[in-house]
């Protein structure tokens, strides 16, 4: 069974405290080593980028499973070519600690609807978690900007999509680039759920690791260097400053979960209402309270027939049929911010409910909810937002 570390915003405070008293974790695991340099991302074609990234990962990745070929194929940047192209492209950017696999279901849906879709790899990801000590903000900004330019060469128009940290990066680019058609934002981490994350950069001078857990998930990291948390916070600071100074008038699709404590969901909603003025923009909100924002649709996440208690940060991205994260998928995440004995009961096969990280309810053992029970409905609304641009 697969485990996942606690969401980083919940352990920055504890890690910062440890830093101030001079404590640090052991780094004997090879997963915590780092490469000499990050891979190049400035190739002149997307095919060359994929091929060179594959070679670099082959040489530098710490593989989790014995099936190296399959494992590599899942986490590589990828192009999804439509059977019937509509002339539009979509660039999708994953979040902190993740990989391009985050968008496997959404990218395929978009390609089925005529879009040329590309997913990219943020430097420091998909090799070994130690490499996440290497990137600076300019590395993540640079790869996004470069691949927007490449996609423009092969598309009549371009949309940008991002999950969590990736949503910050693409929003910044869209604000600066009026040619971008619109935004697709999934759990946008415009503001962290905990104010302690702002101290990650300070803490990084005293402690290397915010958290270290066994790296047993081939699709994403379980651990986190403090410096990477600091770079995430820089992405959020940049985009908040941009949004304070400007409105965004292009269409925006935003997907959020009420149970998500990794990000400040109310800040994202307020930003949407106050700064994202296009009448065709829309929020899909998974939760129990209604939003005041009229451009929204709510789906309840109290779904006892599927043993779902609430929605999570990552679950928005995946279809119930996803082989890794869907119903009965291979990646069950029992480490979910609950007491150790409950995580152990989850791993032992006791009846499991599903929730966001940190949710506890007496008499129930919760694993992470890793799929979206309203995936098809969410995609239909996203399609409508994107189609509204063509009709405007």
Predicted confidence at residue 359, as pLDDT, reads 92
Question: pLDDT by residue for the chain (392 residues), tens digit each?
Answer: 334 334 444 444 444 433 333 344 445 789 999 999 999 999 999 999 999 999 999 999 999 999 999 999 999 999 999 999 999 999 999 999 999 999 999 999 999 999 999 999 999 999 999 999 999 999 999 999 999 999 999 999 999 999 999 999 999 999 999 999 999 999 999 999 988 999 999 999 999 999 888 899 999 999 999 999 999 999 999 999 999 999 999 999 999 999 999 999 999 999 999 999 999 999 999 999 999 999 999 999 999 999 999 999 999 999 999 999 999 999 999 988 877 788 888 988 889 999 999 899 998 999 999 999 999 999 999 999 999 865 54
Domain boundaries, the chain: 9-302+375-391
pLDDT given at position 19: 39
What pLDDT does residue 228 have?
97
Tell me yes or no: is domain 9-302+375-391 CATH 3.40.50.1820.
yes
pTM: 0.92
pLDDT of residue 214: 87
**Rounded distance between C-alpha atoms, residue 262 and residue 1, angstroms:** 23
């Amino acid at each position: 069974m697969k485990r996942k570390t606690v969401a980083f915003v919940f352990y920055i405070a504890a890690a910062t405290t440890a830093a101030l008293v001079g404590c640090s974790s052991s780094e004997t695991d090879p997963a915590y080593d780092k490469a000499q340099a990050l891979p190049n991302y400035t190739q002149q074609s997307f095919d060359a980028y994929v091929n060179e990234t594959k070679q670099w990962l082959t040489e530098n990745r710490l593989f989790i499973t014995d099936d190296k070929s399959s494992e590599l194929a899942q986490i590589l940047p990828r192009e999804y070519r439509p059977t019937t192209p509509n002339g539009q492209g979509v660039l999708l950017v994953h979040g902190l600690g993740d990989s391009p696999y985050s968008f496997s279901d959404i990218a395929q849906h978009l390609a089925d609807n005529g879009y040329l879709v590309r997913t990219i790899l943020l430097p420091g990801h998909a090799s070994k978690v130690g490499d996440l000590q290497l990137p600076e903000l300019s590395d993540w900004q640079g790869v996004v900007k470069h691949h927007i330019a490449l996609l423009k060469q092969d598309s009549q128009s371009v949309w940008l999509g991002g999950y969590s940290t990736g949503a910050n990066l693409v929003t910044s680019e869209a604000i600066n680039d009026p040619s971008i058609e619109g935004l697709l934002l999934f759990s946008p981490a415009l503001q962290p759920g905990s104010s302690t994350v702002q101290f990650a950069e300070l803490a990084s001078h005293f402690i290397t690791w915010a958290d270290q857990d066994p790296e047993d998930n081939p699709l994403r990291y379980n651990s986190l260097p403090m410096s990477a948390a600091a770079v995430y916070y820089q992405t959020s600071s940049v985009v908040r400053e941009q949004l304070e100074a400007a409105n965004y008038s292009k269409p925006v699709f935003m997907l959020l979960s009420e149970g998500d404590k990794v990000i400040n969901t109310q800040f994202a909603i307020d930003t949407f209402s106050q700064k994202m003025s296009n009448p065709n923009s829309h929020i899909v909100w998974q939760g129990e309270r209604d939003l005041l924002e009229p451009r929204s649709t709510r789906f309840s996440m109290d779904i006892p027939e599927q043993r779902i208690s609430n929605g999570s940060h990552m679950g928005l991205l995946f279809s119930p049929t996803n082989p890794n994260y869907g119903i009965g998928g291979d990646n069950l995440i029992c480490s979910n911010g609950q007491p150790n004995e409950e995580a152990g009961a989850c791993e032992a096969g006791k009846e499991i409910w599903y929730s966001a990280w940190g949710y506890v309810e007496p008499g129930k053992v919760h694993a992470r909810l890793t799929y979206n029970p309203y995936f098809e409905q969410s995609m239909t609304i996203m399609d409508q937002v994107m189609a509204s641009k063509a009709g405007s």
